[in-house]
Chains A and B, each alone.
Chain A
Amino acid sequence: MTNSAIATDNLSKSYGSTLALDALSLEVAAGEVFGLLGHNGAGKTTTVNVLTTLLEPTYGNAEVAGHSVTADAMGVRRSIGYLPENVQFYDNLTLMENLRFFAELSGLRRPDQRIRDVLRILDFEGRDRQRLGTFSKGMRQRVGIAQAILHAPSVLFLDEPTSGLDPEGVRTLRETIVRLNSEFGMTIFMNTHLLSEVTKTCTSIGILRGGTLVHHNTLAKTLADFPGEDSLEEIYFQLESERVS
């Protein structure tokens, strides 16, 4: 293992007889925005679940922010923020009550000022007394980002962060991700289907197919390696077809 923000070594996960993740070895350097691509069922969410310690690997190991997911799960949890796909909250509680709960679970004492700071970063002021049940999908996603960065994690995991968002919501979220990376130096690990967003936000990419990592490189190098292709989408499908054939 190295000093990378994320490093996996032969990481595998099986559900019964189904191998969801097959010997994944991957490194993401600190300060990168990494996009993990792949079809549905490729193993992207399983990868994030293992790296966030929500699932235990069947075999292999991974280190996140220098902590082993198997030997020091608490250390990993202290260092990460996590936004699951289709994030939900306690709809009966207000925005402030929801965020205060997650902030205190993360170990923050008297977190109200920090919550207000984060809401300011996300241009989300003046809504802290509104109940979450009244929020739109796009607003919930931004609350999801807020709860994930309250404790200033060094690594942020985003699982399909643009899922279900309208174009305006996608753009706002993209700007937020770029800002978190550039201004606060967070390493971001993102699962996504939206290849156009990957081009605009990620510095490196990986492609998973059937639980196996079939491509991993910086975005710039990936684009340079395929000079004849117009877009990342074309490259993605070409890489997919090469592996199939």
Chain B
Amino acid sequence: MNTFLVSARHEMLNTRRARTAHILLIVFIGMVIASSVIGWVTNQTVTGVYNKVVADGLTTAPNPFAGVSPLYYARNAVIYVLLIGSLMAIVLGVQATVRDRKASTVDLVLSRPVATPARLLGQLAGLAVVLAAVIGISFSVSWLIFSIINGAPLGWGDTGRVIAFGLLSWVLLTSFALLGMLTGLRSKQQTTALLVPFVIWSAVAFVLPQIGTAARPVSLLNPVPALASTGGYFDVVSAFTGPLSLTEQFKRASSIILQDPNVTGEATSSILILLAFLVIMTVVVVVTPRNRMRSGLNE
């Protein structure tokens, strides 16, 4: 078996044995269920009030939930993926690379016929499979819940949209796992290895969208992307910060995929930006020199 496959399998085993993957899976399934239940309860409450209002003869307007897509219930999952999922992916990535440096097992690895790009790509592949499994299981649960709420299995179109949302979530989470791997390789302390990607994540999720659109911090916690810039200074700034606001790009693409009526347009550019980030992060991690991988932690 070659270095890539051995490293991938070893990473999956380590993640599983450290119970990190279990925690991630439990949190994700919890998020998916919470998202669906919140949507379903909202639907039931509004429909109940609507029926009472109609019975009292106070309105003839249609039920606001009558034409809503079953995927509406997944909209909160968007924010859970980028707020909670991303942070957990960072932790997985940091663990993957800090583990070898912390225990000095890296010397046992690198004294064998191992090419460092194959080793790092293998570790990444292991993490990517773990993330794919977690997303796959949770989104299958999600599909099941939507079907139960809907009263019938989701059609091919909606199922395809759930899968596309899952793939997009995987791209985002793998990118943040790579960010964690990178700081795990480059930091001199384990605390810094965790702190730096968290700071970068919060800058990407909150600071960049704010300086480009003047959005309020609270509005950035909404599953729909922040409003477009309102001209002048913001037009100029958002031209630079917009593509870097990865979480906003994720929200925009996800909202379009899940047919949120509040967001219109094409998701292509946002998806391409997320894919570009994934590729760039992969290259940056894979070119890490052997000496860097061997450097010890100052603690």
Interface residues of A (CB under 8 A from B): 52-55, 74, 77-78, 80, 82, 84, 86-93, 97, 101-102, 104-107, 109, 147
Residues in B with CB closer than 8 Å to A78 are 113
Q: A77-B113, A88-B103, A92-B18 are in contact. Are A109 and B108 (CB under 8 A)?
A: no
CB-based contact A90/B6 at 8 Å: no
The 3 closest A-B pairs by CB, nearest first: A88-B103, A92-B17, A82-B111
Proximity bits, B20-63, A CB within 8 Å = 1, else 0: 00000000000000000000000000000000000000000000
A86 touches which one: B7, B10, B104, B114 (CB < 8 A)? B104
Proximity bits, B105-126, A CB within 8 Å = 1, else 0: 1011111111000000000000
Residue ID in chain B nearest A78 by CB atoms: B113
CB-based contact B104/A88 at 8 Å: yes
Bound: A92/B38 CA distance, A: 38
Bound: A127/B1 CA distance, A: 25
Count the B residues whose beta carbon is within 8 Å of the partner chain — how many?
Answer: 24
A-B contact count (CB 8 A): 62
Which residues 258-299 in B have Cβ within 8 Å of A in the complex? 290-291, 294
CB-based contact A90/B3 at 8 Å: no
Q: Which of B10, B18, B99, B110 has the most CB of A within 10 A?
A: B10
B14 in contact (CB, < 8 A)? yes
Residues in B with CB closer than 8 Å to A93 are 13-14, 17
Bound: A88/B99 CA distance, A: 11
Bound: A97/B110 CA distance, A: 18
| Sampled A-B contacts (18; CB under 8 Å) | A53-B111, A54-B110, A54-B111, A54-B290, A77-B114, A82-B111, A86-B104, A88-B103, A89-B105, A90-B99, A92-B18, A101-B6, A102-B108, A102-B109, A104-B6, A105-B109, A105-B112, A107-B113
Q: Which of A90, A91, A105, A147 has the most CB of B within 10 A?
A: A105
Q: A89-B105, A90-B105, A92-B14 are in contact. Are A104 and B110 (CB under 8 A)?
A: no
Which residues 67-113 in B have Cβ within 8 Å of A in the complex? 99, 103-105, 107-113
A87 touches which one: B3, B6, B108, B290 (CB < 8 A)? B108
Residues in B with CB closer than 8 Å to A106 are 112-113
